[in-house]
Amino acid sequence: MGKVLESSLWRSSDFGTTYTKLTLQPGVTTVIDNFYICPANKRKIILVSSSLGDREQSLFLSTDEGATFQKYPVPFLVEMLLFHPKEEDKVLAYTKDSKLYVSSDLGKKWTLLQERVTKDHVFWAVSGVDDDPNLVHVEAQDLSGGYRYYTCLIYNCSAQPHIAPFSGPIDR
């Protein structure tokens, strides 16, 4: 049928000499869509998992290199996660419907930052360039159909006016 019906996850704690199969949800068929390792702390891992019906997703969070995982439902369909480069619990989530969310607790709770976001045109503050590490750079479609480049702080981003460094639309 062209669909993955089950995934298995194997873990080694002796550099690949032996492996142990992990069971994320005993008795439940789990499909792992993707996994992400935190660049600031390699012990922190997020697995994106979907049900067989493709209508809901969950995140499995680990803080011990995958020895244990905690399941958290996610209220949107994840297309991509992006860890903050320096702050280990901050994560951006780009959704299949072009929305951008942020989490400051490793994916347990999420806040909407921006809608109509361009895929792969989102990034965290650049160290040595941006003053605040909580700044996010976003390309998004405006209501007139053009594209704009915005920056905003992750706290109350959707409630505050966005900073648009360029006065008009940008060439996507």
pLDDT digits (tens, 9 = 90+) for 115-165: 999 999 999 998 888 889 999 998 888 888 788 888 888 886 765 555 555
pLDDT digits (tens, 9 = 90+) for 8-31: 889 998 999 999 988 888 877 788
Q: What is the pLDDT of residue 53?
A: 54
Q: What is the pLDDT of residue 30?
A: 82
Which residues have a Cβ under 8 Å from the Cβ of 1 and sit 6 or more positions away? Answer: none
Q: What is the pLDDT of residue 141?
A: 85
- Domains of the chain, by residue range, sit at 9-117
pLDDT digits (tens, 9 = 90+) for 42-64: 999 999 998 655 567 899 999 99
Are 35 and 61 a contacting pair, CB within 8 Å?
no
3-state secondary structure the chain: CCCCCCCCEEECCCCCCCCEEECCCCCCCCEEEEEEECCCCCCCEEEEEECCCCCCEEEEEECCCCCCCEEEEECCCEEEEEECCCCCCCEEEEECCCCEEEECCCCCCCEEEECCEEEEEEEECCCCCCCCCCEEEEEEECCCCCEEEEEEECCCCCCCCCECCCCCCECC
Q: What is the pLDDT of residue 24?
A: 84
